[in-house]
Structure 1
């Protein structure tokens, strides 16, 4: 008789292999080549490579273009303000700041409901509808006559834009494995940064070439142009955005085999489909260490100030932005950690991004006061402490993950052993019944 521990784990392995052949085939670990370090799909089997090419070409491209346009529509009001909107609308004091705050209110309010909606309605309908909403609101901003109308439309822009960023992260987490997700999340995030950068160039071009065309100021043309280029992409999204593999409904641009492969890939990593919300489930989500630990991690990342004068400090200024890449990686980690509960995954992706915006809006008023510069000891001390906490917190989350995975593996082994025992008992009963029948 062999070592009982060895037999137990051997039994578990046998059972797993017999019950999940399709899932294992879907995520066979490839041999790593130099091309795989450049782009991960090169080392995958041909069927997976073909599927991921389609997902990258359609989902990632549409998501990145949409985020580019979202950031154009988000930041264009600042450029418009400097190009004549202030005078045309008779704005003064903090009214521009107030419009930004109102946008933030709409953004914060909309994120969680929108992401939870994605667990019940296909992203193919929700995400393009959000784009249509903020595209129309942006287009209508060209017609505002006073700051009150601007406030109302900025709220709508923020509200409709709110679900796009966390919604795309949830969508990416529903199609990609952990080995593939982080890279796509970073590409998606970079598209927004490029959008912010191009907003100034677009405003300058609109003001220079369209100012007073048809009697409209250049800043009004900026909103018209932004709205016009947003709408076609939004409408195409209704055609090309995919359903979720876990939802069971095939996306039209995947074959039957590719749809089955996408489902098996997600099953193999434990990425669950939708489940009903119950009081027990809500309590479990709210009390889970995932909820508190991962949201606190997102909070600790948002601690850096806005700089006005970087003369002589350019290298330090550039280095200060290295931490920005942690944001999409944290959301990718949430997608991985919460794989077994799609509602929790959607909730925490949105709540994490929500919390980041709240901290960005509130923290500077307390720790990055203008009167404290250029030294700003309080702010830099706060930032340093939070960054150290982020490192410690990340390590703590990893320890908790190791603990949970060991416990989960043990439960799986115990379940296999119990099933084997029950099977032996049933076999013994059948043998006893056969003996009794022969005696009769």
Structure 2
């Protein structure tokens, strides 16, 4: 039975002629640009930690929790930009908006190379957060606009993995730059890192400007035929759209259980990524003063590597299982509790702690699967509501993360992070409970929708029979 399901899943023919060709085109042009965009997004973002452990801390004379304050200020900008960015995508062409944001954050990344004090980086990162806020939630909105429920999980997983690849590549890039460019033209290696990161964004932005296909209803991409555009529109449910940007729309958002359910889900789940998002392994290694610059940059790359494997595995598995995205919530809950206990263990060896930090990287799987879950659940809701809910998920998570990391994961808490370990255990218990409640609500909504469809079909059949009877009498 299982083999039959696998074979059907892999070789399942598309329902419409030419659909397979359309999906391959979408994969090439949408996924390549979105993945490259997210790759550079995370490359620019994660390389702050790489620069910090590669000389920036000493050059700029960082003190106390200034490193964490920079991340918090970035998060504030990210929070302020997320919802406006997603609503902007609803009104503006993504092929214009995405590349523009890329060029802005790429320029700001290069400006970071000129920083002379931690407060300079704080100002730069605020505006960088505004620009980068468009990428993650914006792409999930776009993916939900083009792909069916059967296709969405894998594409979300591939997209999310590209960001982890950026994190991973950043460590190796810093190692290479530090060994070859440190001191060139009088600049430290960490300054060259930001210059090179910024330059990488330019050709990718130009690629998106000319080749990104926008959304099914607005696309003018030359590589899609008129029949393919019509097919793309027919693949997603047609939902009547009510005009947003008024009080009635705001009321619809805040009276919708989708908003509360999925925003709280991602607030909780986002904090289960705290070990990785706060670069705890890098800071732990730095605090021991036992590792070289190359080791400080290379060893932590194992964390996103685990994240990539876990993300692709769970994204594909939940597609195969018919969209059971909630399973990831339970996996993450177990992972967070066990890895925290391993790190809290006073008798734990260095190898055991490294293993815990690496294993904790697997929680990144929730990014792809939970946003795919939200897209699946709101597939029959209006696009503007879906756009706001998806953006609010990331906004809510980052709003909590802005102060959460300062309470539990500051650099001066290394190497034990005791408060953070206990916070992780509590967060994971809450995630398991909330996942169960949200599963109940989504199942209830789906059953209600099926009942409504059945009732409508019955009414249509009765009307048809009545009409047929009148014809016979005539």
TM-score when scaled to structure 2?
0.74
Matched residue of 1:312: which SS? helix
Aligned: 1:164 with 2:142: no
CA distance in 1, matches of 2:464, 2:8: 41
How far apart, CA to CA, are the structure 2 residues paired with 1:334 and 1:174? Answer: 12
Residue 410 of structure 1: how far off its partner (Å): 4.8
Q: CA deviation at 1:49?
A: 1.1
Given the alignment of the two structures, is residue 336 of structure 1 paired with residue 388 of structure 2, yes or no?
no
Name which of structure 1's ranges 43-52 and 173-182 shifts more when overlaid on structure 2. 43-52
Moved more, 107-116 or 299-308: 299-308
Cα distance, 1:112 vs. partner?
0.5
1:371-406 Cα shifts (integer Å, max 9, x gaps): 985597843541342132133123212332234313
- 2:450 matches 1:402: no
Query: What pairs with 1:6-405 in structure 2 (closer than 5 Å)?
Result: 37-38=9-10, 47-247=18-218, 249-266=219-236, 269-270=237-238, 275-304=243-272, 305-306=274-275, 308=284, 311-313=351-353, 316-339=356-379, 340-364=381-405, 370=413, 378-379=422-423, 381-405=425-449
Per-residue CA deviations over 1:303-342 (Å, capped at 9, x if unaligned) read: 4352546632555554444443122212112222223310
> Structure with the greater relative contact order (CA < 8 A, sep ≥ 6): 1 or 2?
2
Distance 2:128 2:104 in 1: 7
- After superposition, give the CA deviation of every residue in 1:156-188 in whole Å (9 maximum; x if it has no partner): 111100111100110111110010001100111
Change (3 A) 1:188 1:136: same
Contact 1:111/1:350 (<8 A) preserved:
yes
Q: Which digits, 9 at most, give the CA deviation of each residue in 1:210-232, with x for residues without a partner?
A: 12222222221111100111111
Report the alpha carbon displacement of residue 119 of structure 1 after superposing the two structures with TM. 0.9
Runs of 4 or more consecutive aligned structure 1 residues displaced over 6 Å after TM superposition: none
Q: Is the 8 A contact 2:259 2:389 kept in 1?
A: yes
Distance 1:352 1:41, change over 3 A: farther
User: Quick one: distance in 2 between partners of 1:60 and 1:377?
Assistant: 36
The normalised TM-score by structure 1 is 0.80
Contact 1:250 1:256 in 2 (8 A): no
Q: What CA distance in whole angstroms lies between the structure 1 residues aligned with 2:113 and 2:405?
A: 31
Q: List runs of 5+ in structure 2 lacking aligned partners.
A: 285-342, 344-349
Give the Cα–Cα distance (whole angstroms) in 1 for the partners of residues 351 and 151 of structure 2. Answer: 39
Q: Which runs of 5+ in 1 are unaligned?
A: 1-31, 432-440
Contact 2:378–2:386 under 8 Å retained in 1: yes
CA distance in 2, matches of 1:92, 1:381: 29
Q: Is the 8 A contact 1:75 1:196 kept in 2?
A: yes
Shift of 1:62: 1.2
* Cα 1:144/1:375, change in 2 over 3 Å: closer
SS state at 1:119 partner: helix
Q: Is the contact made by 1:144 and 1:150 (CA closer than 8 Å) also made in structure 2? A: yes
Distance in 2 (CA, whole Å) between partners of 1:332 and 1:74 is: 24
CA contact (8 A) 2:73 2:402 kept: no
> 2:313 — aligned with what?
none
State the Cα RMSD in Å. Answer: 3.1
Bigger radius of gyration among the two: 1
Report deviation, 1:420.
4.7
Q: CA deviation at 1:42?
A: 6.5
Q: Structure 1 residues 273 and 260, CA, compared in 2 at 3 Å: closer, same or farther?
A: farther
Q: Is the 8 A contact 1:174 1:271 kept in 2?
A: no
Deviations 1:41-62 (A, max 9, x none): 8766651111111111111111
